[in-house]
Structure 1
Amino acid sequence: MNERIRVPQIRLIGAEGEALGIVPTAQALEMAREAGLDLVEVADREKPPVCKIMDYGKFKYAQSKKSHQKTHQQKLKEIRVRPKTGDHDIETKIKQAKMFLEHNDKVQVNVLFRGREMQHIEEGQRVMNQVLEALVNDCKLEMPAKMEGKRMVALLAPKASEKGGQASAKPKPPKPPAPAGTAPIGGPAVAAPAPKPAAPPKV
């Protein structure tokens, strides 16, 4: 960078990205100084090396920010509630879920049932709907609520992960899942009755 560039001439790229051809290094350095910028080597293996006039401080900041974004690995976070969880505690869980989504992590919402609570799945469904409706503007519904053993589970993904950056449509409140041991809703389709044969023409 700047005076550390020892070669006599370089291939220069201007501050706006324009190609300025091969110029003496001293001349390129003077051009960078006049613009209040730096002369930075961007391709040292080329002959002659390629240098660009730029703000080195901003360049390093952009590189570090880009590197930080690449190193973030999406994780699966969980929030857990009960059918009898109070509204205040539910709001706390919703805030946690929003924070996870803002950090580009997925969120699994779990409603846990114990003992006789399995006989009142609709109470857990009410809590699940309350959470999903509060987060509808912060996520997309990747997996609707369904029963897995003694818990009801839904999976949310951050909107930032959607292609094209389009906001997802508001998910419909999930249907109450079928209790364990029952056939799933929407079983095999029933065939329509065959049409009656046409009457023979009268002679």
Structure 2
Amino acid sequence: MPLAEAIQEAQKRGKDLVEVAPQASPVVCKFLDFGKYKYRQEKREKKKQKVQKLKEMRFTSQIEEHDFETKVRHIRRFLEHDDKVKVTVIFRGREIVHMDRGRELLARLVKQTEGIGKVDQSPKVLGRSLQMVIVPTGIKENEHGKKEKEPQGTRQAL
């Protein structure tokens, strides 16, 4: 159907002539209400997006080894679920003098999350705390223990 004829037909029906498949040969158009079409398209796009949450894990500079390991396990779980993790080391009282202990703690944490997370925001001093952000890398381990790169865009929002 010629373009001019299709536009007249759309006006008769009170609809819009919407190009649905521009890559096809010949181009595919439909008689639709453009507002509804655009709304549905945006809704579909929003469904495909992955919502990434920011989780926070707080440490003190005097944390014991077992407590540290427990918190590292939680951080690894957050990263495996594709969530960002904000790690905060809090200094109380005179602990602020030993800022190097906090930096060592964060360095150990980065080393233990090396396979599944990477540092997005390097450690910064904010008041009486030291903060950094770790993001997931997208590399997953399969059931045989081998590491695989996860294809982009395969995960969907839950």
Q: Structure 2 length as normaliser, TM-score?
A: 0.56
Matched, 1:81 2:59: yes
Aligned residue identity for 1:131: L
Which of 81, 90, 109 pairs up with 1:112?
90
Which of 135, 143, 168 pairs up with 2:121?
143
Task: Say which structure is richer in strand.
Answer: 2
Q: Which residue matches 2:75?
A: 97
Aligned residue identity for 1:125: R
Which of 92, 108, 133 pairs up with 1:130?
108
Q: Which residue matches 2:133?
A: 155
State the distance in 1 between where 2:118 and 2:105 align.
18
Aligned residue identity for 2:118: K
* Bigger relative contact order (CA 8 A; separation at least 6): 2
State the distance in 2 between where 1:111 and 1:136 align.
19
State the distance in 1 between where 2:86 and 2:50 align.
19
Structure 2 contact 117–136 (Cα < 8 Å) conserved: yes
Deviation at residue 88 of structure 1 after TM alignment: 0.6
Q: Give the secondary-structure state (helix, strand or coil) at the position aligned to 2:118.
A: strand
State the distance in 2 between where 1:91 and 1:141 align.
19
Q: How does 1:1-40 map to 2 (within 5 A)?
A: none
Q: Give the secondary-structure state (helix, strand or coil) at the position aligned to 2:138.
A: helix
Structure 2 contact 116–138 (Cα < 8 Å) conserved: no
Q: Give the secondary-structure state (helix, strand or coil) at the position aligned to 1:108.
A: strand
Deviation at residue 71 of structure 1 after TM alignment: 6.0
Deviation at residue 70 of structure 1 after TM alignment: 3.2
Q: Structure 1 length as normaliser, TM-score?
A: 0.44
Structure 1 runs (4+) deviating above 3 angstroms are 69-72
State the distance in 2 between where 1:70 and 1:151 align.
37
- Structure 1's unaligned 5+ residue stretches are 1-44, 46-66, 167-203
Q: Give the number of the structure whose alpha-carbon radius of gyration is greater.
A: 1
Deviation at residue 72 of structure 1 after TM alignment: 4.3
Structure 2 contact 110–118 (Cα < 8 Å) conserved: no
Q: Give the secondary-structure state (helix, strand or coil) at the position aligned to 1:120.
A: helix
Cα deviation per residue 1:80-113 (whole Å; 9 max; x = unaligned)? 1111001111111111111111111100111001
Cα deviation per residue 1:43-93 (whole Å; 9 max; x = unaligned)? xx8xxxxxxxxxxxxxxxxxxxxx9x8364100001111110011111111
Give the alignment's Cα RMSD to 1 decimal: 2.8
Q: Give the secondary-structure state (helix, strand or coil) at the position aligned to 1:132.
A: helix
> Percent of aligned pairs with the same residue?
33
- Structure 2's unaligned 5+ residue stretches are 1-29, 31-44, 140-148, 151-158
Aligned positions, number:
101
